[in-house]
Amino acid sequence: MSEFDSNPFADPVDVNPFQDASVTQATARAHPVSGEYNPFSSTEMGSHSGTTIPISEVSSQPAILQTSVEHSAKADLIKQQEELERKAAELDRKEKELQNRSTGRTNTGANENNWPPLPSFFPVKPCFDQNFEEDIPEEYRRICKRMYYLWMFHSATLFLNLLACLAYFTVDNQYGVDFGLSILWFILFTPVAFVCWYRPVYKAFRSDSSFSFFFFFFVFFFQVAVYIIQTVGIPRWGNSGWITAISMIRVNLAVAVVMMVVAGFFTVNAVLAVILLKMVHANYRRSASVSRALQEFSSGVLTNRTVQTAATAAATSAAQGSFGRS
Q: pLDDT tens-digit profile of 150-186? A: 999 999 999 999 999 999 999 988 889 999 999 999 9
Which residues are paired to 128 by β-bridges?
A: 115
Asked if the structure places residue 177 within a domain, the reply is: yes
Asked if the structure places residue 146 within a domain, the reply is: yes
Q: Per-residue b/e over 113-151, b at no fewer than 16 CB within 10 Å? A: eeeeeeeeeeeeeeeebbebeebbeeebeebbeebbebb
Is residue 205 within 8 A of residue 137, CB to CB? The reply is: yes
Percentage of the chain exceeding pLDDT 90: 38
Asked if the structure places residue 151 within a domain, the reply is: yes
Residue-number span of the structural domain to which 274 is assigned = 137-286
CA pair distance 99, 88, nearest whole angstrom: 16
Asked if the structure places residue 46 within a domain, the reply is: no
Local confidence band at 119 (pLDDT 50, 70, 90 cut-offs):
confident
Asked if the structure places residue 312 within a domain, the reply is: no
Lowest-pLDDT choice from 18-22, 122-126, 144-148, 257-261: 18-22
CA pair distance 153, 158, nearest whole angstrom: 9
Asked if the structure places residue 44 within a domain, the reply is: no
User: pTM for the full model?
Assistant: 0.61
What are the pLDDT digits (tens) for 263-273? 999 999 999 99
Residue 116 has pLDDT above 70, yes or no: yes
